Structure 1
Amino acid sequence: MTHFAEAEGEKGKMTRTWFSVRDEPIFAWAGLWRVSDEWGPVYSGVMTDANAVVAPVHDRMPVLLHSEEYEQWLLGSFDDLLGFQKRVFPADRILMERTTDLWVKKKGAAAVEAVLL
């Protein structure tokens, strides 16, 4: 992926805050997937405690992988995988971009804009 976002601010007025990895145009978020009889293909992103950059916005963050860790994530043992969740991604590698974009757009606002067009 290129970025991940978290909601920031007071309920009803939350804005979107973006995070990316310094000097990495794309990076990997550790995840799990399987085929479910009920839902078909399903997936989940693995989360961990937030580092110092993300913590002011949210108490957890995705488990981000360094490129040299991809093979270990894909082929490692169960204990290897648990180890990723226990480590903290270096804060000096994370960039934060606060925006004024609302996290949730009001349903009525979209309808009004469509009518005005």
Structure 2
Amino acid sequence: MRLADGEMVLEQMTWGFPVVLRGKQGQPLKPKPVNNARFDKLGAFWKRWAVQPGNRCLIPTSRYAEAVGTPGKMTETWLSLKEEPLFAWAGLWRSSDEWGDCYTGVMTDNAPELAHIHDRSPVVLLPEQWQTWLTASLDDLYQFDRPFPADAMQIKATSDLWARPKMKGNEQ
């Protein structure tokens, strides 16, 4: 979801910004999708998008999954909010020549009590915070660079294996 001409619009986009890295001789390499933007890099690597409110979006969701365990045997652990059936993950979006409209989710440190699941988590925004994320100055966004309280989260560990699907084309 993003603002277009002052109205909230819901659009399907490709997950991952195509970032073109350079090889040893300075040549452009095949674009690599970057699915998550670290909050502590919004003022640096991600600044050209984060500073522009028109390049911010909300990723609506009711839960998200993390892979937990040892590589090759990781299982899915689902996290949701106890008091909110729907929330938004703070995001950035842009149009790209490579993949059309695409987005990346903004990550912050996880609550210490949830560090055994993952050291980072999505920047969780409640409905009353959505307008601020979409319109405020970059400096004002730093209020969201904090772990969401662990006691407000519902955690559902499963025995389902975290299966990474085989990727093709420009995905990885």
* Structure 2 residue matching 1:46: 3-state secondary structure: strand
Separation in 2, partners of 1:41, 1:11: 32
Aligned residues: CA RMSD = 1.7
Give 4+ residue runs of structure 1 displaced > 3 Å after superposition: none
> Is the aligned partner of 1:26 residue 2:86?
yes
The amino acid that maps onto 2:99 is W
TM-score normalised by the chain length of structure 1: 0.83
Larger RCO (CA within 8 A; separation ≥ 6): 1
TM-score normalised by the chain length of structure 2: 0.57
> Once the two structures are aligned, what percentage of the paired residues are identical?
54
Change (3 A) 1:80 1:105: closer
In structure 1, list runs of 5 or more residues that go unmatched.
Answer: 108-117
Contact 1:53-1:96 at 8 Å conserved across structures: no
Q: Deviations over 1:44-98 (max 9, x none)?
A: 000000113431111000000122111100111111223322x221121111100
Determine which structure has the larger helix proportion and give its number. Answer: 1
Contact 1:18-1:98 at 8 Å conserved across structures: yes
Q: Deviations over 1:21-61 (max 9, x none)?
A: 01211111001101012221110000000113431111000
> Is the aligned partner of 1:92 residue 2:151?
yes
Mapping for residues 60-99 of structure 1, pairs under 5 Å:
60-85=120-145, 87-99=146-158
Contact 2:96-2:102 at 8 Å conserved across structures: yes
Larger radius of gyration: 1
